[in-house]
Amino acid sequence: MPAALFGLVACLALAGGVGVIVSRRPVHSALALLIVLGSLAVDYLLLDAQFVAVLQVIIYAGAIVVLFVFVIMLLGARSGEGPKIGAMLPVPLAVLLGALFGAGLIAAVANAPRAWPPVAQGFGTVQQVGRALFSTFLLPFEAASLVLLIGLIGAVALGKRLPPIPPGPSPAVSREQVASGRAPR
Amino acid sequence: MTVPAAYHLGLSAVLFSLGMVGVLVRRSALVVFMSIELMLNAVNLTLVTFSRVHAAVDGQVLVFFILVVAATEVVIGLAIIVDIFRSRDTVDVDDVDLLRG
């Protein structure tokens, strides 16, 4: 039963991963990313990591993907790519490089231990992860709150519209304003 | 727990490679971002797998911190993308080449 579930989850995750990088529209990429995140949450459950699985659903699927969808909605239809072909690398070369890299990674993990050690009842629950978080990892935990605060302030600062520049005789500034679409209204 | 750890790690390896190809190939900054999320998730899967292999919960704590950093990174990155879109009317990473020599 776990094997069948893992097979299903792995197929879904791989299909979603391919969907993220081949979809023409960003919304489809976001939905494919959602499929990947959901199937990985199930995989975490298979690996006795309940807390991480719940976090995955709440934070990734619930917050990050919604943020992506909001930004796609904000930017409208122009958030996609035009027909211009001009990636940094030619696509076949990039796919070849990716395949080589993936083969190397798989070769590196191929002889991982096959046996699973027994774990105590309650491994990976909120209780146990929380105990580690608030004892051994207390300092990084507090630092994480600082990271979140800085991210919050940074997002507000970046999202704020600049005050309109008063009209002046400087042609450089006005050309910049026209180019940037920030001409005072 | 009948599936060997190598299968989980192999899935993670393939997902990471897919994310890498996405970053190399796609030009929309949003999709590049989603590919980065894909790579972060692949690393998370590796950490959870090894946490189970070693029967230690430390890997899961590390995943928690990666989630925090990923959330912050997405918020800041999307704010930057929206700002670029406001000023240049595009999110194509090939069009934002002001620093190109």
Q: Quote ipTM for the complex.
A: 0.92
Residue B89 distance to chain A (closest CA, Å): 8
Residue ranges covered by each domain of chain B: 27-88
| CA separation for the pair B22, A102 (Å, rounded) | 13
The pTM for the full model equals: 0.85
Binding-face residues of A in 54-113 toward B, CB within 8 A: 55-56, 59-60, 63-64, 67-68, 71-72, 74-75, 78-82, 84, 86-89, 91, 94-95, 97-99, 101-102, 105-106, 108-113
d(CA A139, CA A88): 41
CA distance B25 to A23: 12
Give the CA angle between residues A94, A99, A101 to the nearest 5°: 95
- A67 pLDDT higher than 60: yes
User: Residue A185's pLDDT band (boundaries 50, 70, 90)?
Assistant: very low
Partner-chain contact B79 A159, CB within 8 Å: yes
Check whether A53 has a pLDDT greater than 90.
yes
Contacts of A11 by beta carbon, 8 Å cutoff, 6+ apart: none
Span A82-118, pLDDT tens digits: 555 555 567 888 899 999 999 999 999 888 877 788 8
Task: Tell me if A3 and B65 make a contact (CB, 8 A cut-off).
Answer: no
Residue A32 one-letter amino acid: A
Residue appearing with tokens 């978080």: A133
Q: Report chain A's mean pLDDT, rounded to a whole number.
A: 84
pLDDT surpassing 70 at residue B58 = yes
CB pairs below 8 Å between A and B: how many? 262
